[in-house]
Amino acid sequence: MSVQHDPVQRADFDQFMVPNYAPAAFVPVRGQGSRVWDQTGRELIDFAGGIAVNVLGHCHPALVGALTEQANTLWHISNVFTNEPALRLAHKLVDATFADRVFFCNSGAEANEAAFKLARRVAHDKFGPQKCEIIAATNSFHGRTLFTVSVGGQPKYSDGFGPKIEGITHVPYNDLDALKAAISDKTCAVVLEPIQGEGGVLPAEQAYLEGARKLCDEHNALLVFDEVQTGMGRSGELFAYMHYGVTPDILSSAKSLGGGFPIGAMLTTNELAKHLAVGTHGTTYGGNPLACAVGEAVIDVVNTKAVLDGVKAKHRQFTSRLQAIGEQYGIFSEVRGLGLLLGCVLSEVWKGKAKAVLDAAAAEGVLVLQASPDVVRFAPSLVVEDADITEGLDRFERAVAKLVQG
Ligand SMILES: Cc1ncc(COP(=O)(O)O)c(C=O)c1O
């Protein structure tokens, strides 16, 4: 039974919504696989994936099935009780990773908030209140709550909201000497994205993550990996830490974890988890049965050899074509990233113009993202069809050609 809605248009955004976003001029209304359609019926190929979220594209049958079944069973029960989907998903995450324990929440920022609070709590309990300093990377992004913007290394997101959370130091990413100089026995955690996502799709160097692990161990500090953007298969491994072979103490996940349904998770060890005893932290919706049922379907599909090998193969398809486009039109100086998180670094003359590339791409019928004004980002579905890759990149090339021709 379809419900009749009042007609709405893009202009309603400007009238009724807080102006903290600047959405595109068109309104998507429907998605299937890697294609979406707007209000006028125009079809677009989606390489943006809802900002690295729609890990299995739009309306994947396994996810629709899990959500529909759960919607007819139990929506919400709160953490006064536990529920079967949450327990099943937690068990699967534990089986698939370094972690022994899972805390569920609703977003990446909340997963990081829990991670940072846990790191401080552990240090407080074991070493005392002076061990509360967090080291994070310049240009990093960890979410928009006050704690997460304070840890994030982009002052444009944290300035202007009054006093920030104290005790946070930022060091240049991929600079082990800077981390070495900053870390001390007052450090409770080093927080890193294995690939800086919003900061420009910049992968960590192998020696950097290995060195960070060693420095943390030497200073009794915890290594926190923010895998909100890199996790759940995006790198070609279930989590990017597996690609590097460097294991964190705490890991945050969100975005792809729910494939489009809001969910976040913080993963950690038994030893650390015990510091979040009853009453120390919580959330009403975290571990919601609907979200966890979808998350379970996501991990069942994504954590398979077929999908993860597919990501690596599709990575090669994307990068070789994007490199060719970059060279032919002189628009990219580098194509970087792992798996299906790719960043095309704009060449000197195109620096700062990522938004113009996005707009030109959308006009040709393909959705891409930016990651800073200097990088065009691709975060498609991990199961994007080969035909969609070819057609989408043809459209993208036409957009670049038009842009370059002025
Ligand atoms: C690495 C990273 N951490 C945290 C977040 C915040 O996630 P959310 O927007 O779900 O709060 C993001 C979102 O872009 C992210 O890329």
Cβ–Cβ < 8 Å for 222, 81? no
Q: Whose CA is nearest to atom 8 of ligand 1?
A: 108
Cα(200) to ligand 1 centroid in Å equals 14
Q: What b-and-e string marks burial along 342-375, b requiring 16 or more CB atoms within 10 Å of the CB? A: bbbbbeeebeebbebbbebbbbbbbbbbbbbebb
Beta carbons within 10 angstroms of residue 276's beta carbon: 19
- DSSP run (H or E) holding 151: helix 146-151
pLDDT at 3: 83
Q: Report the chain (406 residues): mean pLDDT per 10 consecutive residues.
A: 87 98 97 98 98 98 98 97 98 98 98 98 98 98 98 97 97 98 98 98 98 98 98 98 98 98 98 98 98 98 98 98 98 98 98 98 98 98 98 98 95
109, HSE (Cβ side, Cα atoms, 13 Å): 9
Cα(142) to ligand 1 centroid in Å equals 5
In short, whether 228's Cβ falls inside 6 Å of ligand 1 is: yes
Distance CA 315, CA 235 (A): 9
In short, whether 227's Cβ falls inside 6 Å of ligand 1 is: no
The pTM of the full predicted model, rounded to 2 decimals, is 0.98
Backbone angles phi, psi at 353, to 5 degrees: -110, 25
Distance CA 306, CA 304 (A): 5
Q: 366-367 and 43-46 as β-strands: parallel, antiparallel, unpaired?
A: parallel
Cα(394) to ligand 1 centroid in Å equals 30
Which residues, in sequence order, are bridge partners of residue 191?
Answer: 224
Distance CA 324, CA 281 (A): 50
Beta carbons within 10 angstroms of residue 133's beta carbon: 21
Domains in the chain, start-ordered, CATH in brackets?
Answer: 10-59+305-405 (3.90.1150.10), 74-302 (3.40.640.10)
Q: DSSP assignment of 340-386, as one string?
A: TEEEEEEPGGGTT-HHHHHHHHHHHTEE-EESSTTEEEE---TT--H
Distance CA 303, CA 237 (A): 8
In short, whether 193's Cβ falls inside 6 Å of ligand 1 is: yes
Cβ–Cβ < 8 Å for 396, 364? yes
Altogether, the residues listed in the chain come to a count of 406
Cβ–Cβ < 8 Å for 286, 113? no
In short, whether 225's Cβ falls inside 6 Å of ligand 1 is: no
In short, whether 397's Cβ falls inside 6 Å of ligand 1 is: no
Q: Which residue among 140, 198, 241 has the greatest number of ligand 1 atoms within 8 angstroms of its CB, and so is best to mutate?
A: 198
Distance CA 131, CA 389 (A): 49
Instruction: Name the token pair of 402.
Output: 């038009």
Sign of CA dihedral 12, 15, 17, 18: positive
In short, whether 113's Cβ falls inside 6 Å of ligand 1 is: no
Helical H runs in 275-343?
289-302, 305-329
Q: Whose CA is nearest to atom 6 of ligand 1?
A: 143
Ligand 1 closest atom vs CA 264? 10
pLDDT at 42: 98
In short, whether 107's Cβ falls inside 6 Å of ligand 1 is: yes
Q: Which residue among 229, 251, 263, 369 has the greatest number of ligand 1 atoms within 8 angstroms of its CB, and so is best to mutate?
A: 229
Cα(86) to ligand 1 centroid in Å equals 21
Number of H helices, E strands in the chain: 15, 17
pLDDT at 1: 59
In short, whether 85's Cβ falls inside 6 Å of ligand 1 is: no
38 burial via Cβ count (<10 Å: 0-12, 13-18, 19+): middle
Ligand 1 closest atom vs CA 143? 6
Q: 250-253 and 222-226 as β-strands: parallel, antiparallel, unpaired?
A: parallel
Cα(73) to ligand 1 centroid in Å equals 30
- DSSP run (H or E) holding 208: helix 206-218
Cα(40) to ligand 1 centroid in Å equals 31
